[in-house]
Amino acid sequence: CEITGNRLKDKNPYQKPIVGDWVLIERGEANNGNIIREILLRKTILKRKKIGGQDNVQIIASNVDRAVIVQSLAQDFSVRRLERNLLQLADTGIKPIIVLNKLDLVEDTNEFEKVMRGIDENIPVIYSSFVSGHGLDEIQNMLTPGETVVFIGSSGVGKSSIINTMLDEERQQKTRAISTYSGKGKHTTTSRKLFLLENGVIVIDTPGTREFGLVLDDESVLQEQFAQIDQFSRHCKFRDCRHDTEPDCAVKDAIIKGELSESILDAWQKLSKEVNQKS
């Protein structure tokens, strides 16, 4: 489909069609292409802030019901990036699934499981391996017919390979061999692609995004995502306590008593600072 000149020239990214959009088109005649006349109301918009821009927002996909966050257990794993992804999804109203891929490249998952205990226990976590097939059926079984599902994660973590297991051979994407040196797949996805599965699930593959700048419409999601801190902070001496050097801080006391992990507070402080800088 083609878009009209006015929409093409519009610098507002929200006015241009993006993957996941439902649109009204005008059918072209003969050799003329179809023209997008209207973009229907979007129920969700997944976005991020680009690196190096003041107000440089990139829209990743629209009308997404569920997001599969893929990280590799081999070198790529970052709980801080995971927390950032989850915060943006919570703000957007998109349900997350966490996939920790390349299980075949680690000896055990004990350390990862310890870290993941700090993540909301209601969020599904799947350990997977494209090589052994472990977890792949579980991922597909989590996807509901009629839903639009986007896969996000860094380059080379195996997003396209996982999606390929859901596609017939003719529609499978080309992926390159895994590096024997780094254990990383060589990134080939350069644009967002949409696939309709046989069971009615719409799947969107995306290029790798290692950095994920926050673009929050509702800053209260930060407190919701860090409910433990919010609970303890109600007993702080000062209502605006930053849980840093303030006296009688209930959050710092909880860390001393072993009731709260210091890493969780560290993550909250970094994300809170970023959110406050943009507000």
Question: Token pair of 237, please?
Answer: 């001496």
For the chain, give the longest Cα–Cα distance: 75
pTM of the model: 0.85
Question: Token pair of 94, please?
Answer: 């998109």
Residue listed under structure tokens 């994660």: 153
- What is the predicted pLDDT for the residue at 119? 85
* CA proximity to 60, closest of 152, 140, 195: 152
99, 71 contact by CB (below 8 A): yes
- What is the predicted pLDDT for the residue at 210? 72
User: Rounded to an integer, what distance in angstroms lies between the CA atom of residue 209 and that of residue 49?
Assistant: 11
User: Rounded to an integer, what distance in angstroms lies between the CA atom of residue 32 and that of residue 93?
Assistant: 39
User: Rounded to an integer, what distance in angstroms lies between the CA atom of residue 68 and that of residue 75?
Assistant: 19
Torsion of CA 50, 55, 56, 58, to 10 degrees: 80
Tens digit of each residue's pLDDT, the chain (279 residues): 777 767 767 778 788 899 999 999 888 776 677 888 889 999 999 999 876 655 688 899 999 999 999 999 987 899 889 999 999 999 999 999 999 999 999 999 999 998 888 788 899 999 999 999 999 999 999 999 999 999 999 988 999 999 999 988 777 777 655 544 445 555 455 578 999 999 999 999 998 877 788 888 888 898 888 888 999 999 999 998 999 999 999 999 999 999 998 888 998 998 888 887 765
| Burial group, residue 190, by CB count within 10 angstroms (0-12, 13-18, 19+) | exposed
139, 112 contact by CB (below 8 A): no
- What is the predicted pLDDT for the residue at 23? 93
Distant-in-sequence, close-in-space partners of 256: CB < 8 Å, separation ≥ 6: none
60, 159 contact by CB (below 8 A): no
- What is the predicted pLDDT for the residue at 175? 63
- What is the predicted pLDDT for the residue at 188? 56
What domains appear along the chain, each with residue ranges and CATH number? 2-39 (no CATH), 45-205 (3.40.50.300), 221-278 (1.10.40.50)
State the amino acid at position 11 in one-letter form. Answer: K
Beta strand 193-196 with 202-205 is antiparallel
Using the Cα atoms of residue 104, residue 105, residue 107 and residue 113 in order, give the sign of their dihedral: negative
Phi, psi values for residue 225, rounded to 5°: -70, -30
Q: Report helix, strand or coil for 197.
A: coil
